[in-house]
Structure 1
Amino acid sequence: MITMYGIPNCDTIKKAKKWLEANNLEYSFHDYRKDGLSEEQLTGWVNELGWELLLNKRGTTWRQQSDEVKNNIDETSAIKLMLEHPAMIKRPLLDTGSVRKVGFKDTEYAELFA
């Protein structure tokens, strides 16, 4: 079963959902804010994908952090920050059961599900 993780009002999430639906791929959506996220799950993703890939430094939540937080970020503090502010996790995170993919590009999704 395909699971898409993210927040529902994200434009990239909307594009990815539209692509999956247009390609008749069933999926479930996991809303970080509503459905939560465990430290174990996030740590697993960090171990597999790297905290640098998962931490969204482009969003307003990151920009609102103090310079001290931004200048001293490491794996431990990034995990803590992403658990406190799930909107800071890049999205979507797509889990096919065997592969995890961060972000959305239609060409990459087409390859993944070819």
Structure 2
Amino acid sequence: MYLFLEYPKCSTCRKAKKWLDENKIEYTDRHIVEQNPTSEELKKWIEKSGMPVKKFFNTSGNLYKSMQLKDKLPEMTEEEQIQILSTNGMLVKRPLVIGGDIVLAGFKEEEWDALKQG
């Protein structure tokens, strides 16, 4: 069973959810804004993913832009970046799928094919 974090108004999240349903992949749905990921969760997921913290930011979002994070992130420690990510679900790249050894940020069908193996 996977954890699927989404923002329901996001078209990419809707596409990803449809893909999960069509491929009969079981998941627990979680609204990324109503239940923002905690810094502890993010730390665990980032470590498991092997990706840099930067990959977990929704760089195309209005909040990211209005906070001028593009300029600020390079000056911050990884810990500070995770702390900012945990303040608002709109900062987190979505959708997120977590389960077993898999952590996927964003929806790229070829990456998500790994979920079919269970």
Normalising by the smaller structure, the TM-score range is: 0.7 to 0.9
Residue 113 (structure 1) aligned to one of 99, 111, 116: 116
Normalised to the residue count of structure 2, the TM-score between the two structures is 0.81
**Is 1:53 equivalent to 2:55 in the alignment?**
yes
What SS does the aligned partner of 2:93 have? Answer: coil
Structure 1 residue runs of 5 or longer lacking an equivalent are: none
Letter in 2 for 1:45: W
CA offsets 1:39-58 (integer angstroms, 9 cap, x no match): 21112123333211112222
Give the number of equivalent residue pairs.
114
1:55 touches 1:78 (CA, 8 Å); kept in 2? no
Task: State how far apart, in whole Å, the 2-side matches of 1:47 and 1:111 are.
Answer: 19
**Is 1:96 equivalent to 2:99 in the alignment?**
yes
2:23 touches 2:116 (CA, 8 Å); kept in 1? no
The aligned counterpart of 1:11 is: 11
Normalised to the residue count of structure 1, the TM-score between the two structures is 0.83
Q: How much is the aligned-residue C-alpha RMSD, in angstroms?
A: 2.1
Structure 2 residue runs of 5 or longer lacking an equivalent are: none
Moved over 6 A (4+): none
Cα deviation, residue 6, structure 1: 2.6
Matches within 5 A, 1:33-44: 33-44=33-44
* Sequence identity (%): 26
Task: State how far apart, in whole Å, the 2-side matches of 1:96 and 1:26 are.
Answer: 10
